[in-house]
């Protein structure tokens, strides 16, 4: 399965900027299917984590109010060009994904 995450990390003056786009339906459980009239089951990312060289630099706890295909951008210090940043997520149905990027 191909990763659902697109990630980019760049370093400038000691600050690493990470930008990521995650493909995910992010269903709230409140919308109805137009054909059947039944509610579409909730399906959303609950936790996003970022690690730099194995050390956690971000943990975000999300709920159903986050939009479809969420985008996240954050900064941290201490990263250098050539090192790796890993972003991972887990959703309320037990699915997960992760992706690494080399800091440029």
Domain boundaries, the chain: 5-28+41-102
pLDDT > 90? residue 5: yes
CA–CA separation, 102 vs 1, rounded Å?
A: 21
pTM: predicted TM-score of the whole model, two decimal places:
0.90
Phi, psi torsion values for 19, nearest 5 degrees? -130, 130
Quote the longest CA-to-CA distance of the chain: 55
Instruction: Name residue 9's beta-bridge partners.
Output: 18
| Token code pair at residue 102 | 């080399």
pLDDT > 80? residue 30: yes
**How does residue 35 score in pLDDT terms, banded at 50, 70 and 90?**
very high
| CATH number for the domain formed by residue range(s) 5-28+41-102 | 2.60.40.10
């Amino acid at each position: 399965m191909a990763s659902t995450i697109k990630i980019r990390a760049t370093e400038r003056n000691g600050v690493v900027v990470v930008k990521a786009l995650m493909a995910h339906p992010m269903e709230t459980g409140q919308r109805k299917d137009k054909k059947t009239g039944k509610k579409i089951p909730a399906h959303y990312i609950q936790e996003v984590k970022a690690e730099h060289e194995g050390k956690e630099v971000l943990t975000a706890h999300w709920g159903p109010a986050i939009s479809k295909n969420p985008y996240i951008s954050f900064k941290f210090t201490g990263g250098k060009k050539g090192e790796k940043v890993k972003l991972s997520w887990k959703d309320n149905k037990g699915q997960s994904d992760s992706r690494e990027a080399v800091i440029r």
